[in-house]
């Protein structure tokens, strides 16, 4: 099975999607549960034919298998990334299509033009050089002479480049049976507080008990902004006054979290990067206070970066990496940029995994990052249009 065919089957298979929906409807009738869709509480999702957003109830009630549930979840994720990466997708696909139309033969002129295109998309110089060198070797190995025949290889190599550093997991280090502490860092204005609120909402929806710590005592209004998010998602916020010691806030928050049986404590921090030494001292003090009370904590140090700032985001990531151990990136506002290549630069040049991406303004638009979901979002139209008809009709267990 080709790479494009596999991605299309995983994220955009309308035939499977429709068949699964019909099976669910039939099972609901057989189990005499059609009234479920008629008594939705205010704000609750009502099941409709075109709705892919709520399948958990059917799974919980045994109306679908785990395989069916996972297939529909993939469809949901694919739709999220496709919608959120619309600007980047239009930019990437248009430029790549124009490039392939202009350069018909695989030669050095084509590779140089491809390098320029990818650099302009914020992929990062070192990553671009590695990617294009890989494509040169692939073209030679497979004796590819027409640029159109490299279309799929370009997309596949992007995934391979991202996934080559396998020891850096995209999974969050969250475990049951302990107090998990997440430290959020990042400069002011990148969406750090909003990310904390959305993360709290996400974990609450998974049945976790969440608490927030207002550790940004420096920026005016930061504490109040976090409290608004706490009220919005329904979680406690531990705070002190503006200008107080952030480490003291963390101490209070950890004690409160332990007393209340909290599963996840998410800690805000100041976003000052102008004076690295002061920020480093502050973060080290905060981490010492946390680790004394909770062994091996903080379990995650997440750096929030604004995707719309492009190479400036990469510079911020380098600076914060010098200040503290960053375990993962939250790339905010990815839906607002036409240059989504920054994801690759961060991973490949800094060896820090992107763990979440912001794909919109809604609470559930903060999504766990996955390389294949990302590539599908960037190249969805191209992927769906370039699966050969013969392969489209081929059974899945073949090829």
Give burial (CB, 10 Å; 0-12/13-18/19+) of 162. buried
Instruction: Confirm whether residue 272 is marked as ligand binding.
Output: yes
Q: Is 192 annotated as a binding residue?
A: yes
* Residue 191, marked binder: yes
What is the CA angle 385-118-146, rounded to 5? 50
CB atoms within 10 A of CB 391: 14
Is the C-alpha dihedral spanning 304, 365, 96, 140 positive or negative? positive
* Tokens read off for 268: 């805000």
Task: Supply 140's token pair.
Answer: 């030679």
Q: What's phi and psi for 355, nearest 5 deg?
A: -100, -30
Do 297 and 291 form a contact (C-beta atoms < 8 A)? Answer: yes
Give alpha helix (H) positions in the chain.
Answer: 3-11, 14-30, 56-60, 66-84, 86-102, 108-120, 125-141, 151-163, 192-205, 222-233, 246-259, 276-293, 311-323, 342-350, 371-385, 389-392
127 is an annotated ligand-binding site residue: no
- C-alpha span between 120 and 228 (Å, rounded): 38
Please tell me whether 190 is known to bind a ligand: yes
Is 269 annotated as ligand-binding? yes
The answer on whether 84 is annotated among ligand-binding residues is no
Environment class of 174 (CB within 10 Å of its CB; exposed 0-12, middle 13-18, buried 19+): middle
Give, for 237, the enclosing helix (H) or strand (E): strand 236-238
Question: Per the annotation, does 268 bind a ligand?
Answer: yes
Torsion angles phi and psi, residue 302, rounded to 5: -100, 130
266 beta partners: 182, 212
Q: Which residues contact 35 (CB under 8 A, 6 or more apart)?
A: none
Gap between the Cα atoms of 189 and 36, Å rounded: 43
CA distance 69 to 77: 12
334 is known to lie in a ligand binding site: yes
Q: Residue 189, annotated ligand binder? A: yes
Please indicate if the annotation marks 187 as binding a ligand: yes
Tokens 């070797």 sit on residue: 137
Q: According to the annotation, is 271 in a ligand binding site?
A: yes
Q: Give the C-alpha separation, 196 to 181, whole Å.
A: 12
Q: Is 176 assigned a ligand-binding role in the annotation?
A: no
State the binding site for GTP. 186-193, 268-272, 332-335
State the binding site. 186-193, 268-272, 332-335
């Amino acid at each position: 099975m080709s790479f494009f065919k596999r991605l299309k089957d995983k994220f955009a298979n309308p035939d499977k999607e429709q068949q699964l929906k019909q099976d669910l409807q039939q099972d609901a009738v057989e189990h005499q549960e059609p009234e479920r869709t008629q008594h939705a509480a205010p704000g609750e999702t009502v099941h409709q034919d075109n709705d892919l957003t709520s399948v958990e109830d059917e799974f919980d009630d045994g109306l679908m298998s785990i395989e069916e549930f996972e297939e529909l979840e993939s469809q949901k994720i694919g739709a999220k990334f496709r919608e959120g990466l619309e600007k980047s997708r239009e930019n990437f696909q248009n430029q790549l299509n124009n490039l392939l139309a202009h350069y018909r033969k695989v030669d050095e002129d084509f590779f140089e033009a491809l390098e320029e295109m990818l650099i302009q998309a914020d992929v990062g110089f070192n990553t671009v050089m590695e990617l294009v060198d890989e494509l040169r070797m692939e073209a030679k190995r497979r004796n590819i002479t027409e640029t159109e025949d490299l279309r799929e290889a370009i997309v596949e190599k992007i995934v391979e480049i991202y996934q080559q550093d396998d020891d850096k997991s995209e999974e969050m280090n969250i475990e049951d049976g302990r107090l998990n502490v997440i430290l959020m860092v990042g400069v002011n204005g990148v969406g750090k507080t909003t990310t904390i609120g959305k993360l709290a909402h996400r974990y609450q929806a998974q049945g976790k008990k969440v608490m927030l710590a207002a550790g940004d005592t420096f920026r005016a209004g930061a504490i109040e902004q976090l409290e608004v998010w706490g009220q919005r998602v329904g979680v406690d916020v531990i705070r002190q006054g503006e200008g107080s010691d952030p480490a003291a806030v963390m101490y209070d928050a950890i004690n409160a979290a332990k007393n209340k049986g909290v599963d996840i404590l998410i800690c805000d921090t100041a976003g000052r990067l102008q004076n690295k030494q002061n920020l480093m001292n502050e973060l080290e003090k905060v981490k010492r206070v946390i680790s004394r009370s909770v062994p091996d904590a903080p379990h995650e140090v997440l750096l929030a970066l604004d995707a719309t700032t492009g190479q400036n985001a990469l510079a911020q990531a380098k600076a914060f990496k010098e200040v503290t151990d960053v375990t993962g990136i939250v790339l905010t506002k990815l839906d607002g940029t036409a240059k989504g290549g920054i994801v690759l630069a961060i991973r490949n040049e800094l060896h820090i995994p992107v763990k979440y991406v912001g794909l919109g303004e809604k609470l559930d638009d903060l999504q766990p990052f996955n390389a294949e979901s990302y590539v599908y979002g960037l190249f969805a139209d191209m992927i769906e249009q370039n699966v050969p008809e013969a392969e489209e009709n081929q059974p899945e267990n073949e090829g």
